[in-house]
Amino acid sequence: MLLENKNAVVYGAAGAVGGAIARAFAHEGATVFLAGRTQGPLDDVAREIRQAGGRAHPAVVDALNEPAVDNHLASLIGQAGHLDISVNAIGVDHVQGVPLVELAVEDYALPIQTYPITQFLTARAAARHMVDQGSGVILTMSTTAARVSLPSDGFGIACAGVEALSRQLAGELGPHGIRVVCLRPDAIPESARRGSHTRSVWGRAAERAGMTLDELLDGSPGMSGALLQRSPTLREVADVATVMASDRVTAMTGTVANVTCGAILD
């Protein structure tokens, strides 16, 4: 098993991407600490993991609340003894597809005030514990919006900020044996069909385009514009996260894992 005897915390674990990563980690032997804002969906993921023979501990944690993040990790360390992997896959409902010149300031600011801040809070908290043990892996989350010019409000700017933060963290934490890798998937239609916040975001985009959500998802840019002519699946993103978190790629840090099916070329 790739993650046997590892302890991992996954923020946004009740969401489509976070849940897929949590399940994959547990399948590969990790004890998974599921963090999110709503108890019921977290319990559902934990139950599924346990029924499959894995180990999962759900907890309500606001990943934008500094004391909540710090207190949860302190409790985790007290219970498990060490933290090996931290992943932040939270998402927030925000406006996309509106040209910047037509965008309200508050809609522009929301993703910028959310994604880089939450990634900073959770990565910093994890790093403080990992420095003491001299090892660990921090996985952040971006999207192709960081690299393309689209009417996507502040989301692309937020994603670019997360990637810059990841490089900065990798430089600071490398001497302590800690790796930092940013996951960059393209649009994942599967996540919108599972009722996550992505469904709301894409639903409004479909309405603005004069089509149904299914029509938009079936013709998503990832499917039509990627070299593989499709979008990545949740399972593929989770599998890449698992490998990046494992000891199979201990020479990789300060980089972005391109999980776009060739929608973006590095």
Which tens digits make up the pLDDT trace of 136-155? 999 999 999 899 887 667 88
Does the structure show a pLDDT above 70 at 214?
Answer: no
Average pLDDT over residues 226-245: 95
User: What's the rounded mean pLDDT across residues 172-192?
Assistant: 90
Residue 217 pLDDT level (bands cut at 50, 70, 90): low
pLDDT confidence of 222, banded at 50, 70, 90? very low
Kindly state the tokens that stand for 99. 């040209």
The answer to whether residue 43 scores a pLDDT higher than 80 is yes
- Write down the pLDDT at residue 48: 98
**pLDDT for residue 103:** 87
Structural domains of the chain, ranges and CATH numbers in brackets: 7-185+233-258 (3.40.50.720), 189-231 (no CATH)
- pLDDT of 216 reads 58
